[in-house]
Amino acid sequence: MIMERVRIEGRRGGGTEFMGELISSVTTHTPERARWFEMKLWEHENGGWVVDRVSVSLIYHASNTTCQRHNGLLMGSPTKVRELPPEAEPCGACDPPWPNEMNGETLVRFETPRHTVIHCPTAMDIIQAVTVDRTRPGTMFASGPATELLTVAAGKDPLIAGALAESGAVSSVKVE
Protein backbone atom coordinates (compact mmCIF):
# COMPACT_ATOMS: atom_id res chain seq x y z
CA MET A 1 0.00 0.00 0.00
CA ILE A 2 1.40 3.39 -1.03
CA MET A 3 0.22 6.08 1.37
CA GLU A 4 0.46 9.77 0.60
CA ARG A 5 -0.51 12.94 2.44
CA VAL A 6 -3.93 14.04 1.17
CA ARG A 7 -5.26 17.58 1.66
CA ILE A 8 -8.81 18.42 0.62
CA GLU A 9 -9.72 22.10 0.80
CA GLY A 10 -12.84 23.05 2.75
CA ARG A 11 -15.61 25.29 1.41
CA ARG A 12 -14.84 28.09 3.86
CA GLY A 13 -11.18 27.50 4.59
CA GLY A 14 -9.88 24.68 6.70
CA GLY A 15 -10.29 21.29 5.14
CA THR A 16 -9.33 17.70 5.74
CA GLU A 17 -5.83 16.24 5.83
CA PHE A 18 -4.87 12.58 6.23
CA MET A 19 -2.56 9.82 5.02
CA GLY A 20 -4.22 7.56 2.49
CA GLU A 21 -4.03 5.59 -0.72
CA LEU A 22 -6.12 6.55 -3.75
CA ILE A 23 -8.35 3.57 -4.61
CA SER A 24 -10.55 5.02 -7.36
CA SER A 25 -11.18 8.34 -9.10
CA VAL A 26 -13.74 9.52 -11.68
CA THR A 27 -14.58 12.76 -13.46
CA THR A 28 -17.24 13.93 -15.88
CA HIS A 29 -14.90 16.64 -17.24
CA THR A 30 -14.77 17.23 -20.98
CA PRO A 31 -13.19 20.25 -22.72
CA GLU A 32 -16.56 21.56 -23.92
CA ARG A 33 -18.15 21.63 -20.44
CA ALA A 34 -17.75 24.56 -18.03
CA ARG A 35 -19.12 22.52 -15.08
CA TRP A 36 -18.33 18.96 -14.06
CA PHE A 37 -18.29 16.53 -11.14
CA GLU A 38 -15.43 14.51 -9.65
CA MET A 39 -15.22 11.77 -7.01
CA LYS A 40 -12.21 10.21 -5.35
CA LEU A 41 -12.09 7.29 -2.93
CA TRP A 42 -9.17 7.04 -0.53
CA GLU A 43 -8.30 4.22 1.85
CA HIS A 44 -7.45 5.91 5.17
CA GLU A 45 -4.24 4.87 6.96
CA ASN A 46 -6.17 4.29 10.21
CA GLY A 47 -8.82 2.13 8.55
CA GLY A 48 -11.96 3.00 6.69
CA TRP A 49 -12.19 5.20 3.63
CA VAL A 50 -12.70 8.82 2.62
CA VAL A 51 -14.91 9.91 -0.28
CA ASP A 52 -14.28 13.34 -1.81
CA ARG A 53 -17.17 14.53 -3.98
CA VAL A 54 -16.46 17.83 -5.73
CA SER A 55 -18.46 20.07 -8.03
CA VAL A 56 -16.09 22.00 -10.30
CA SER A 57 -16.91 25.02 -12.46
CA LEU A 58 -15.28 27.65 -14.63
CA ILE A 59 -18.33 29.95 -14.47
CA TYR A 60 -18.31 33.41 -12.90
CA HIS A 61 -21.21 35.77 -12.27
CA ALA A 62 -21.68 39.53 -12.07
CA SER A 63 -21.02 40.86 -8.57
CA ASN A 64 -24.69 41.92 -8.33
CA THR A 65 -26.01 38.63 -9.72
CA THR A 66 -29.40 37.24 -8.81
CA CYS A 67 -28.35 33.73 -9.91
CA GLN A 68 -29.00 31.30 -7.05
CA ARG A 69 -28.12 27.73 -6.15
CA HIS A 70 -30.92 25.26 -5.32
CA ASN A 71 -30.67 26.27 -1.63
CA GLY A 72 -31.33 29.95 -2.37
CA LEU A 73 -27.75 31.16 -1.82
CA LEU A 74 -26.13 33.30 -4.50
CA MET A 75 -23.96 31.48 -7.01
CA GLY A 76 -20.20 31.84 -6.58
CA SER A 77 -17.95 33.56 -4.08
CA PRO A 78 -16.56 37.10 -4.33
CA THR A 79 -13.36 36.94 -6.39
CA LYS A 80 -11.18 39.57 -8.05
CA VAL A 81 -11.06 39.31 -11.85
CA ARG A 82 -7.25 38.92 -11.74
CA GLU A 83 -7.73 35.74 -9.63
CA LEU A 84 -9.97 33.98 -12.18
CA PRO A 85 -8.47 31.01 -14.01
CA PRO A 86 -7.61 31.68 -17.68
CA GLU A 87 -10.45 29.35 -18.79
CA ALA A 88 -13.12 31.21 -16.77
CA GLU A 89 -16.42 31.80 -18.60
CA PRO A 90 -19.14 34.39 -17.94
CA CYS A 91 -22.57 33.17 -16.81
CA GLY A 92 -25.11 33.20 -19.64
CA ALA A 93 -27.92 34.37 -17.34
CA CYS A 94 -26.43 37.41 -15.53
CA ASP A 95 -24.01 38.10 -18.42
CA PRO A 96 -20.97 39.76 -16.80
CA PRO A 97 -18.29 41.17 -19.14
CA TRP A 98 -15.35 38.99 -20.20
CA PRO A 99 -12.31 39.27 -17.88
CA ASN A 100 -10.25 41.22 -20.44
CA GLU A 101 -13.02 43.87 -20.47
CA MET A 102 -12.76 44.49 -16.71
CA ASN A 103 -10.21 45.91 -14.28
CA GLY A 104 -8.28 43.16 -12.46
CA GLU A 105 -9.52 44.48 -9.10
CA THR A 106 -13.20 44.26 -10.11
CA LEU A 107 -15.18 41.76 -8.02
CA VAL A 108 -17.20 38.98 -9.63
CA ARG A 109 -18.73 35.84 -8.10
CA PHE A 110 -16.69 32.77 -9.14
CA GLU A 111 -18.05 29.24 -8.67
CA THR A 112 -15.15 27.82 -6.66
CA PRO A 113 -14.88 24.02 -6.30
CA ARG A 114 -17.32 22.68 -3.67
CA HIS A 115 -16.02 19.61 -1.84
CA THR A 116 -18.11 17.22 0.19
CA VAL A 117 -15.85 14.95 2.26
CA ILE A 118 -17.43 11.82 3.71
CA HIS A 119 -15.58 9.58 6.16
CA CYS A 120 -16.73 5.98 5.71
CA PRO A 121 -15.89 3.49 8.47
CA THR A 122 -17.32 0.54 6.48
CA ALA A 123 -17.44 -0.47 2.83
CA MET A 124 -21.26 -0.28 2.96
CA ASP A 125 -20.89 3.38 4.06
CA ILE A 126 -18.98 4.06 0.82
CA ILE A 127 -21.83 2.68 -1.27
CA GLN A 128 -24.33 4.73 0.73
CA ALA A 129 -22.21 7.89 0.32
CA VAL A 130 -22.01 7.68 -3.48
CA THR A 131 -25.43 6.22 -4.34
CA VAL A 132 -27.94 8.05 -2.13
CA ASP A 133 -30.09 10.33 -4.27
CA ARG A 134 -29.77 13.73 -2.56
CA THR A 135 -33.01 14.96 -4.16
CA ARG A 136 -35.00 11.96 -2.87
CA PRO A 137 -33.70 11.01 0.61
CA GLY A 138 -33.64 7.29 1.28
CA THR A 139 -33.53 6.43 -2.44
CA MET A 140 -30.42 4.83 -3.94
CA PHE A 141 -29.29 5.85 -7.41
CA ALA A 142 -26.08 4.58 -9.00
CA SER A 143 -25.06 7.28 -11.50
CA GLY A 144 -22.51 6.51 -14.20
CA PRO A 145 -19.65 8.10 -12.21
CA ALA A 146 -20.71 6.31 -8.99
CA THR A 147 -20.88 2.98 -10.84
CA GLU A 148 -17.41 3.53 -12.30
CA LEU A 149 -15.93 4.56 -8.93
CA LEU A 150 -17.41 1.53 -7.16
CA THR A 151 -16.52 -0.92 -9.93
CA VAL A 152 -12.86 0.11 -9.93
CA ALA A 153 -12.76 0.09 -6.11
CA ALA A 154 -14.37 -3.37 -5.96
CA GLY A 155 -11.66 -4.69 -8.28
CA LYS A 156 -9.00 -3.52 -5.80
CA ASP A 157 -10.61 -4.21 -2.44
CA PRO A 158 -12.48 -7.40 -1.50
CA LEU A 159 -14.36 -5.65 1.34
CA ILE A 160 -15.80 -3.13 -1.13
CA ALA A 161 -16.55 -5.91 -3.63
CA GLY A 162 -18.45 -7.87 -0.97
CA ALA A 163 -20.44 -4.85 0.20
CA LEU A 164 -21.25 -3.95 -3.39
CA ALA A 165 -22.52 -7.45 -4.13
CA GLU A 166 -24.59 -7.44 -0.92
CA SER A 167 -26.11 -4.02 -1.62
CA GLY A 168 -27.07 -4.70 -5.22
CA ALA A 169 -26.33 -1.01 -5.93
CA VAL A 170 -24.39 -1.82 -9.10
CA SER A 171 -25.56 -4.90 -10.95
CA SER A 172 -22.69 -5.07 -13.46
CA VAL A 173 -19.99 -5.94 -10.90
CA LYS A 174 -18.85 -9.56 -10.67
CA VAL A 175 -17.36 -10.67 -7.38
CA GLU A 176 -14.91 -13.56 -7.64
Q: Across the 176 residues of the chain, what is the mean pLDDT of every consecutive 10-residue run?
A: 86 80 96 94 95 94 94 93 96 96 97 92 93 71 89 94 84 45
Residue 119 belongs to a domain: yes
Residue 176 belongs to a domain: no
Q: Both 66 and 27 in a single domain? A: no
Q: What residue type is 92 in one-letter code?
A: G
Which whole-number Å values give the CA distances from 166 to 37, 50, 174, in the listed order? Answer: 27, 20, 12
Sheet strands side by side (includes 59-62): 77-80, 107-110, 59-62, 89-90
- Domain ranges, residue 93: 59-110
pLDDT of res. 174: 43
Q: What residue type is 100 in one-letter code?
A: N
Question: In terms of DSSP bridges, do strands 89-90 and 59-62 run parallel, antiparallel, or are they unpaired?
Answer: parallel
pTM: 0.83
pLDDT of res. 176: 38
Last residue of a domain, one of 91, 110, 129: 110
Residue 172 belongs to a domain: no
Residue 174 belongs to a domain: no
DSSP state of 45: T
